[in-house]
Amino acid sequence: MILVKEDLTGCCASLAGPAISVEEARATAGLFKALADPTRVRIVNLLANSSEAVCVCEMNAQFDLAQPTLSHHLKKLVAAGLLAREQRGTWAYYTVNDDSLRRLARLVGVKGGNGG
């Protein structure tokens, strides 16, 4: 079998830039894996739209979940690097990791980490 290189001019769109590295793809895949659950997407959205750290006690009112289930989701998001956790007395407070959001935004072509 002989392969003939065809002229693809006008047929295919030009690629905008180089593909991300294997290392970057692996790191980013971990973020997407953590976001593969709709509840986790909602948690990240809630925290991304908050101007300050949110107490887990406040999140209980937002989600119809048992406390252990909510804690499980938060633990997965922290482990993936999407959230940061700060212990204040008996309560845990959570914030979004802006670097992780920017990584996701860059991957999909958004200029800012908060959709802007």
Spelled out in words, what is the top-level CATH class assigned to the domain 22-107? mainly alpha
> Which sequence spans correspond to the domains of the chain?
22-107
pLDDT bin (cut points 50, 70, 90) of residue 16 is low
Q: Which residues pair with 95 in a beta bridge?
A: 84
pLDDT digits (tens, 9 = 90+) for 68-81: 999 999 999 999 99
Average pLDDT in the chain: 86
Hey, what amino acid is at 51? S
* pTM tops 0.85: no
pLDDT bin (cut points 50, 70, 90) of residue 31 is very high
Q: Which of 75, 84, 94 is nearest to 34 (CA)?
A: 75
Query: What whole-number distance in Å separates Cα of residue 65 and Cα of residue 104?
Result: 27
Q: Determine whether 61 is exposed, middle or buried from the number of CB atoms within 10 Å of its CB (0-12, 13-18, 19+).
A: exposed
Q: At 54, which helix (H) or strand (E)?
A: strand 54-55
Q: 67 Cβ partners below 8 Å, 6+ apart?
A: 60
Runs of H (alpha helix) within 1-113: 22-34, 38-48, 56-62, 67-80, 98-107
